[in-house]
Structure 1
Amino acid sequence: MESSPRILVLGYRHLGDSLFLTPMLRAMKRFAPNGHTTVLAHGIGAAVLEGNPHVDEVFKVSGRGMAAKFSHLTTLRRTRYDIGILAQHSLANAVFLWSVGCKQRVGIDSKGCGLFLTHRVLTMGLVHEVTRYLKLAEALGANGDSSGLEFFTTEADRQSVAQFLFERGYDLQQRDGRPLIALFPGSSQQWRFKRWPADRFAQTGSRLVMQHNACLLLLGGPDDRDAIDEISQTLTVPFCVVDSSHSIGRLAALLAACDLLITNDSGPMHLATAVGTPVVDLAGPSDPRRTGPYGAGHIVIQRVEPGSPKQWIDAPDPQLPMKAIGVEDVVAAAVEQIAKTRLV
């Protein structure tokens, strides 16, 4: 391998998927410290990696689909990449990586991708997506990595969050035994049936405030407005609504300040794990073994057999897996988590 390899990683546009790449990117930088790593990413996926010290360049792609990527083919070919990493596993992406002209191309050997790869990784059984990406780095000679997801907050974002909370009566320097707990009741529009019922979020939040003197934050963006409104109208305890859509860096700093995040399976869940905040994951139909909170110290609550969420789209009651999770279960898990920080 070149002493200063030029590395191209085909990244993502989603928050969680992009965070899943961070252990692999860290492993590659350790393996080739003088290398130059470029990640091809879209939207929020690009924002997630822009401050990552293990990424030298984020190549932003506007638009969606393969046409958007191929529109940059000439520019990418000029760089003459030594290594291409097929994180986005599909035949079209394998063809694209081959078309860029990467000398070495690593990816999972399935869906016909192997024809366009120089380093083929055998398909794996039931493993977390993070493990899958790490196997790609290992195929190139890098050592494994078990340090978890990463997101790097800035001092400006941390100070902004501290001031925001102080103005609302919560001093991060003097918590006075009050746990700072965030609720994220939302999801993408595609996966709305993966939401825990809003009234149960409200009941859980109320109990944590009344019984454990918690300071309650309600997180959400425009897509989550209906859930936020329903919870806001139901809560009878003090709380603060935070628009989580403005800045990924500010959201990360806010989650880092929290003692706990209670959340549906979502991007913010993975962001919380990346900044070291304990999570209670309301998993519903998702399979946490593949896409759950990565690393130790988190609690997953699931009352149905894990599988593909897609199997519930046309079910008579798509929300059945979420309705099976009770308030008592979530409150107990929350108390267990914040007890670890001696705030209960």
Structure 2
Amino acid sequence: MSCQNILVWLPSPMGDAVMATPALRCIRNLFENDKIFFCANDTVAQVLADSPFADEWITIKSHCPFAIASELKKHNFDTAILFKNSFASALAVFLAGVKTRIGYARDGRGIFLTEKLFPPKIGLFRYKPLSALDYYLAVASWLGADVLDRKLELSVNEEDKKAVIEKFGEKLNGRNPFVILVPGGAFGPSKIWPEERFAQTADFLIEKFSANVFVSVSPVKEEIQIAEKICSNAKHPIVNLGENPVTLGQLKALFPFAELVITNDTGPRHIAIALGRKIITLFGPNNPVWTENNYPNEVKIIADVPCAPCDKPVCKKDKHYCMESITANIVCQTAEKFLAGSKKTDDFAEISLNFTVRSDFVDCFSRLGLENIDDVFNFAQGKSLTKPNLASFRERIVFDTQNPTATLFLKRYQNIPKLIQLKNRLARRKKISMMACDNQPAEELRKLGINTPRTIAFGEQWQELFEKRSFIITEKIPDASSLEENLPLERENFIENLAAFVRKFHDTGFRHRDLYLCHIFCDSKTNFTLIDLNRVFKPLLFSKKYLIKDLAQLYYSAPGNSVTEADWLKFFLAYWQKDKLSKQDELLIKKIKSKARKMAKHDKKHNRTAPFEKQP
């Protein structure tokens, strides 16, 4: 068959359209010299827009077959191939005067078709379960196409890829497994797995693999609420695409970053398969045969209950037996098998003398020209964070990397005064570089359960007894801000959680000596991270003195116009784990406040106002 203008009318469900891509590829190859138009709704057009199978697109805006026919007439189509099963689509191409009209004769529309295929049936009224992939390939085969290639196929637009990297770059870092949860389902609520189980699965992946977890839902009220429930039930932060919406093109661009997709039997499942992702699909009411594609990297977890599959969009039972029979435990076990070996290690590689880099950043640093300690001290990219009052031997730079995508902070130390080096040795009771003053307590505190910035690279160089220079590169804390920038006092139990964190830090025996709010970061789930660890140490003597200093710095840096004395009482009660303060506690609080006032006097000499002093 030879045609000039060919119309291919795509199915409306997103998943069906993706499952039609093997047939579309076959048709493109068969009619490589002819002009092919794809006709589809806006959703399908966005998902398949970058695929190479069509010459032009017609996006359907109307449901009226007469209006659609009027639009189609403009193109003088010789042939219409209907993958869409509706009565209206067959009527529209008939009214448009298309000479050859090919499609399945079903639902009374056969009278409008010139070339008819008949779907297999069980008895008179029920259609036999048949994979949509084979259903559409049968049309291509009938046309005479070679249909051996059954692989689903989608293309990703580079602009969409750039957009998601810009928006979510830190989460797509290549070090932590990136997992997408798809908890919705346009078919109906019967195929939706319980929100709390998605939340349990997310927590497992975060705790076990340090995964970055996204929840993807369509922009409809019901699915947005599902995503909100998952995020509120989870103990750890999850990126909610219901609150951070992306276009369908950008969603498609996000999937190639995913190491695993966990989904109900819904449209994005097929996007994941077409883009070669590992996938776990949860089947309840739907018969898996309808969407079978023999994809090797998919595990189907199928409800084993007497009433399934029923293929009904709404469950009529007193309990949602099928989806509730799928436990979070079985999903987590399956995910663990998929991600085995994906948990990134903290292995370091010494790539040159005095230069050690986390293994997953070696190639990245090489591309940046960072291959030895000289390169680090000559590095001029990024943005300088050096402040006027920062000691001259310290320098700070922030810069971004790609593959892995990250924001990194570089601290460089050189020409360190010998007196400062001797003080560091005295406090730490050993010979130690400025870099190690940052890195060693960070590593030890992490082992003790205190979050600290992740070290990416470090190095030091000595000149006889004294340090010549050293550096440390750490990673930006994801989704967090300092308490100086954002002090969420209204957040439930925030003050108690902060007090517990500070106490836990002090219980390690360490003292910070710079424990201002700007050095404590907090994320949306009230997880705290301690930064700027260069002065952190374990005092042999005067431990209580340094504890008072830490708490005084915290008190000093809290804004007096928003943090009340009642807030501080709540803090100290939680810090000492008491219901009522003792006389000794009250005396200690007086010392803390006295120390803060002394710090404020120093500020006044320099015409500065201490944060804790109420502003007029």
Q: In structure 2, what is the Cα distance between the partners aligned to 1:163 and 1:79?
A: 40
Give deviations 1:247-279, integer Å, cap 9, x for gaps.
111101111110011111211111111211121
User: How far 1:225 moved relative to its partner?
Assistant: 2.2
**Aligned match for 2:144, one of 141, 146, 167:** 141
* Residue in 2 that maps onto 1:118: 114
* Residue in 2 that maps onto 1:155: 158
Structure 1 residues 140, 292: CA separation in 2 closer, same or farther (over 3 Å shift)? closer
Q: In structure 2, what is the Cα distance between the partners aligned to 1:210 and 1:90?
A: 47
* Residue in 2 that maps onto 1:322: 323
Give deviations 1:202-241, integer Å, cap 9, x for gaps.
1111112212232222222443222222222222224322
Give deviations 1:122-144, integer Å, cap 9, x for gaps.
32343211110111111111111
- Rg larger in 1 or in 2? 2
* Residue in 1 that maps onto 2:339: 338
Point out 4+ residue stretches in structure 1 off by more than 4 angstroms: none
* Residue in 2 that maps onto 1:183: 181
Q: Mapping of 1:256-275 within 5 angstroms?
A: 256-275=256-275
Q: Mapping of 1:46-57 within 5 angstroms?
A: 46-57=45-56
Q: Kindly provide the amino acid, as one letter, of the partner of residue 177 in structure 2.
A: P
May I ask how many residue pairs the two structures share in their alignment?
331
Greater RCO (CA < 8 Å, at least 6 residues apart) = 1
SS in 1 for 2:241: strand
Structure 1 residues 241, 312: CA separation in 2 closer, same or farther (over 3 Å shift)? closer
Contact 1:107 1:113 survives alignment (8 Å) = no
User: How far 1:160 moved relative to its partner?
Assistant: 2.4
Q: In structure 2, what is the Cα distance between the partners aligned to 1:142 and 1:83?
A: 16
Structure 1 residues 292, 165: CA separation in 2 closer, same or farther (over 3 Å shift)? farther
Structure 1 residues 114, 193: CA separation in 2 closer, same or farther (over 3 Å shift)? closer
Structure 1 residue 219 and structure 2 residue 209: aligned?
A: no
Structure 1 residue 228 and structure 2 residue 230: aligned?
A: no
Q: In structure 2, what is the Cα distance between the partners aligned to 1:235 and 1:83?
A: 53
Q: Any unmatched runs of 5+ in structure 2?
A: 121-127, 344-616
Contact 1:86 1:97 survives alignment (8 Å) = no
Q: How high is the TM-score relative to the length of structure 2? A: 0.51
Q: In structure 2, what is the Cα distance between the partners aligned to 1:146 and 1:32?
A: 16
Q: In structure 2, what is the Cα distance between the partners aligned to 1:191 and 1:311?
A: 4
User: How far 1:163 moved relative to its partner?
Assistant: 3.1
Give deviations 1:84-116, integer Å, cap 9, x for gaps.
112122344323222222232222233344333
Contact 2:104 2:110 survives alignment (8 Å) = yes
Contact 2:69 2:93 survives alignment (8 Å) = no
Q: In structure 1, what is the Cα distance between the partners aligned to 2:245 and 2:270?
A: 15
Give deviations 1:301-326, integer Å, cap 9, x for gaps.
11146534327543333x32110101
Q: In structure 1, what is the Cα distance between the partners aligned to 2:336 and 2:249?
A: 28
Give deviations 1:282-334, integer Å, cap 9, x for gaps.
111111210356633211111146534327543333x3211010111111221
**Aligned match for 1:93, one of 71, 89, 96:** 89
* Residue in 2 that maps onto 1:31: 30
Q: In structure 2, what is the Cα distance between the partners aligned to 1:312 and 1:163?
A: 39
SS in 1 for 2:189: helix
Q: In structure 1, what is the Cα distance between the partners aligned to 2:339 and 2:83?
A: 35
Q: In structure 1, what is the Cα distance between the partners aligned to 2:88 and 2:118?
A: 19
Structure 1 residue 248 and structure 2 residue 245: aligned?
A: no
Q: Mapping of 1:97-112 within 5 angstroms?
A: 97-112=93-108
Contact 2:9 2:82 survives alignment (8 Å) = yes
Contact 2:284 2:309 survives alignment (8 Å) = no
Structure 1 residues 222, 31: CA separation in 2 closer, same or farther (over 3 Å shift)? closer
Structure 1 residues 308, 6: CA separation in 2 closer, same or farther (over 3 Å shift)? farther
**Aligned match for 2:312, one of 306, 310, 313:** 310
Structure 1 residues 292, 316: CA separation in 2 closer, same or farther (over 3 Å shift)? farther
Q: Kindly provide the amino acid, as one letter, of the partner of residue 196 in structure 2.
A: D
Structure 1 residues 209, 40: CA separation in 2 closer, same or farther (over 3 Å shift)? same
SS in 2 for 1:310: coil
Identical-residue share of aligned pairs (%): 28
Q: How high is the TM-score relative to the length of structure 1? A: 0.88
Structure 1 stretch displaced more, 264-273 or 25-34: 264-273
Q: Any unmatched runs of 5+ in structure 1?
A: none
Structure 1 residue 283 and structure 2 residue 278: aligned?
A: no
SS in 1 for 2:232: helix
